Amino acid sequence: MLKSFEPIVNNESEILILGSMPGIKSLEAQEYYAHPQNRFWKIMAILCNYSDLEKKDYKVKTKTILGNKFALWDTIRSCSRKGSLDSNIQNIKPTDIKSLLKKYPNIKKICCNGAKSYSLFLKYSKDIPSYVKVIQLPSTSPANAKYSLTKLLKEWEAVLVQE
């Protein structure tokens, strides 16, 4: 059984970015989005105006996103999965997003990193406060090869750039 990480969140967080379940590289490193071909940290570098964030230490990465009012978590608390593909996920135990939102009421937007995260959120996260907007974004995973970094950035930027 694979287990996800604790959320990266603080009282200033306004946007929760939800993945589905960390891949093998991330689980081995005990870091969100640790696969070198995942474009998540490259996108966050641009959105947080922090050059080369993807090359920095994980503590710097997490401090940077928290400082820009983002939070990170997953829709899956634990599951079984062969490899890293979302399509192989089975035996899902979801995270308790409703409790996280209650504890961190400044979160007003949830952005799901990919279709699997979004579909699992819809399935398992009922009774989310009506003031929270939920959006599906294209996955930053290297498996989502149809999206160039430029195209990903354009879609993520449209949703995540704070008003």
Could you tell me the residue ranges of all domains in the chain? Answer: 2-160
Q: Which amino acid appears at position 143 of this protein?
A: A
**What's the confidence (pLDDT) of residue 95?**
96
Cα angle value 112/156/31 (rounded, 5°):
60
pTM of the model: 0.94
**What's the confidence (pLDDT) of residue 114?**
94
Cα angle value 105/109/112 (rounded, 5°):
125
Find the catalytic residue in 38, 49, 88, 144. Answer: 38
Annotated active-site residue 38? The verdict is: yes
The pairing of beta strand 2-3 with beta strand 70-74? unpaired
**What's the confidence (pLDDT) of residue 81?**
86
Alpha-carbon distance of 110 to 118, in angstroms, equals 10
* pLDDT beyond 90 at 13: yes
Structure tokens at 69: 């009012």
Strands in 75-137 per DSSP E = 76-80, 90-94, 109-113, 133-137
**What's the confidence (pLDDT) of residue 124?**
93
**CATH classification number, 2-160, choose in 1.10.645.10, 3.60.10.10, 3.40.470.10, 1.10.357.140:** 3.40.470.10
91 dihedral zone (left: phi>0; alpha: psi -120 to 50; beta):
left
Q: What's the burial of 132, exposed, middle or buried (CB within 10 Å: 0-12/13-18/19+)?
A: middle
For residues 99-119, one letter each, b for 16 or more C-beta atoms within 10 angstroms of the residue's C-beta and e for the rest, the string is ebbeebeebebbbbbbebbbe
**What's the confidence (pLDDT) of residue 9?**
98
**What's the confidence (pLDDT) of residue 89?**
83
**Tens digit of each residue's pLDDT (9 = 90 or more) over 24-64:** 999 999 999 999 999 999 999 999 999 999 999 999 999 99
State mean pLDDT over 75-95: 86
**Tens digit of each residue's pLDDT (9 = 90 or more) over 97-125:** 999 999 999 999 999 999 999 999 999 99
**What's the confidence (pLDDT) of residue 127?**
87
